[in-house]
Amino acid sequence: MPQPLVDPPALLPGTLRVIPLGGIGEIGRNMTVFEIDGKLLIVDCGVLFPEETQPGVDLILPDFEPIRDRLDDVVAIMLTHGHEDHIGAVPYLLRLRDDIPLIGTTLTLALIEAKLKEHRISPLTMSVEAGGREKLGPFDLEFVAVNHSIPDALAVMIRTVAGSVLHTGDFKMDQLPLDGRLTDLRAFARLGEEGVDLFLVDSTNADVPGFTPREADIGPILDQIVHRAPRRVIVASFASHVHRVQQVIDAAAANNRLVALVGRSMVRNMGIAQELGYLSVPDGLLVDAKKAVELPDERVLYMTTGSQGEPMAGLSRMANREHPTIEIGPGDTVILASSLIPGNENAVYRVINGLIDLGANVVHKGNAKVHVSGHAAAGELLYCYNIVKPRQVMPVHGEARHLRANAEVAISSGVPRESTLVGENGTVVDMVDGIATQVGQLDIGFVYVDGSTVGEITEADLKDRRILAEEGFISIFIAMDPQTGKIIVGPEIHARGFAPDDSVFDDVRPAIVKALEEASANGTRDTQSFQQVVRRTIGRWVNTQHRRRPMIVPVVIEA
């Protein structure tokens, strides 16, 4: 249930304030602001990808409004890892102040620097490593290695005079990770013995029992699928999933196939990962996508974006026969090596159906073990709670069901129910002497990126777009003498997405003429009032005769 809006009190000296501006109640746009003694620390600044109910929207950003006038007080943006839902909104925040320092590991900073280069922003960066510690104003940060679906992920311990907060970022507890990077449970235990006053914990898989399967289990299955494929193989994954791309490259090499990377973000990110040594590629294995079409079908494997059904991504364009170089056909094998992000199900299944209609054999998580999650399941979370033994818990990164499930796991480990703070975006939590209390609820909205515009699209605009998409559009043009009410031209009625033939409106034209004559006889003279008469008349007719509610745009001019 949404929290009632409550303005938080003025922040007293020595009090730590925690405000999530995104990532609570959703999978994406993760961003949390910490404030104490006039200084702010931001952990992550990511994007949320739009759903079908948000037509035309490219990205959704966290709501920066609560800190827009405080950006000079921000000491740094701490980036836990390089996924888009944690770094994607950084360019939009740096547009407001471009010298905010960015803190992260080598790969994380490389990925965000490449993204910022496209926005023509040269950031200030501070590279850190697991086990390191940095003092930034009133914040004392310690960085802890965690295992995730991208290398170099971190948790962060934030120490202040008001108490300590341990933020896991995204993590899981794979005990045989591909890169050998374990979640540092020894550090978690040490921090727990020191005392963790507030534990912010990844909730994405909290409603999944047991433990997340190992990444190492995926490699042999991918190898078998590639080995059996008679023609081309197309693998779709996130553009930053270095581990999955490594497994695909290994499978291709073992089966004498060359690999072509498809999609600008895939090419960019994997180039960075290879340059920094996070991706191992045998010499001569990679081939340009344009040259790959000249290879025999059994010798090529394409690694592409589009695993979430994004309309402009490579896989969707292939399914729609819109890709400039790759045309899917019978005998091709398509592998979707990713989980479904909630809200993307319809888009993904639409792509799958399109690929099957083209004759492809589609392999996905529903029919083969070609992906494992990068997030801890309930068993792993319970393990962490027992190790850390936090005083209080605030679930983050998840929809409402994930947050609640995470809280229940914490409670089962012995955390008092009243010490689990299940909030939402804009929930204001203050900590004094290690005790955290919810003190307010801000009004946090969605900030839409639509082409080159940021924040100009409103919910009303999206409603109009949905009406246009679902109900159609009707325009009516009339020229009339406002003094006599006589119609000189029209009514000319045109529609899009409503009826195949405009002749359907022949029945309503006399009703519009009559309504305007009556309005004029009753003293109406201005064009705006006449337009309202037209809108009401045709609106009633459309609703009664066709059970539709299209967008109606009447234009009445004086003749």
Close Cβ partners of 381 (under 8 Å, ≥ 6 residues apart): 201, 206, 406, 409, 410
Strands 551-558 and 473-481: parallel
| pLDDT over threshold 70, residue 171 | yes
Q: Which range among 154-158, 200-204, 324-328, 448-452 shows the weakest confidence by mean pLDDT?
A: 448-452
Look at residue 557 and tell me whether its pLDDT is greater than 80.
Answer: no
The tens digit of pLDDT for each residue in 252-272 reads: 999 999 999 988 889 999 999
pLDDT tens across 106-149, in order?
Answer: 999 999 999 999 889 999 999 999 999 999 999 999 999 999 98
pLDDT tens digit string along 513-547?
777 777 777 767 777 777 787 788 877 877 777 77
Beta bridge partners, 396, equal: 202
Q: What is the pLDDT of residue 468?
A: 57
Please compute the mean of the pLDDT values over residues 166-185 and round it to a whole number: 93
Considering the domain 215-363, what is its CATH architecture? 3-Layer(aba) Sandwich (3.40)
- pLDDT value of residue 83: 92
Residue 334: pLDDT above 60?
A: yes
CATH code for 16-210+374-444? 3.60.15.10
Instruction: For residues 465 and 55, give the distance between their C-alpha atoms in angstroms, rounded to a whole number.
Output: 7
Mean pLDDT score of the chain: 88
In whole angstroms, give the CA distance from residue 420 to residue 218. 35
- Give dist(CA 61, CA 254) in Å, integer: 41
How confident is the model at residue 501, as a pLDDT?
62
Report the pLDDT value the prediction gives residue 485, as an integer from 0 to 100. 66
Cα angle for residues 543, 545, 550 (degrees, 5° grid): 40
**pLDDT for the residue numbered 94:** 96
- Measure Cα distances from 288 to 238, 258, 262, 300, 505 in Å: 19, 10, 9, 11, 55
pLDDT in tens, 451-464: 666 766 666 666 65
What type of residue sits at position 14?
A: G
Per-residue pLDDT at 371 exceeds 90? no
pLDDT exceeds 60 at position 469:
no
Model pLDDT, residue 53: 66
Q: Are 141 and 157 in contact (CB under 8 A)?
A: yes
User: Could you tell me the two tokens for 76?
Assistant: 């740094």
Where are the domains positioned within the chain?
16-210+374-444, 215-363, 459-558
The mean pLDDT of 367-396, rounded to a whole number, is 93
Cα separation, 364 vs 525, in Å, equals: 64
Q: What CATH number does the domain located at 459-558 have?
A: 3.10.20.580
Determine the Cα–Cα distance for residues 437 and 331; give it in Å rounded to an integer.
59
Helix or strand run (H / E) with residue 535: helix 527-546
Q: Please tell me the predicted confidence (pLDDT) of residue 446.
A: 85
Distance CA 236, CA 240 (A): 12
> Can you tell me the mean pLDDT for 388-400?
96
Torsion sign over Cα 264, 446, 309, 236: positive
pLDDT score for 545: 74
* pLDDT band, very low/low/confident/very high, at 449 (cuts 50, 70, 90): confident
Minimum mean pLDDT among 33-47, 308-322, 384-398: which range? 308-322
CA-CA distance, 277 to 246, in Å (whole number)? Answer: 12
DSSP conformational letter for 312: T
Is 243 in contact with 271 (CB distance < 8 Å)? Answer: no
- Cis amide bond preceding 491, omega within 30: yes
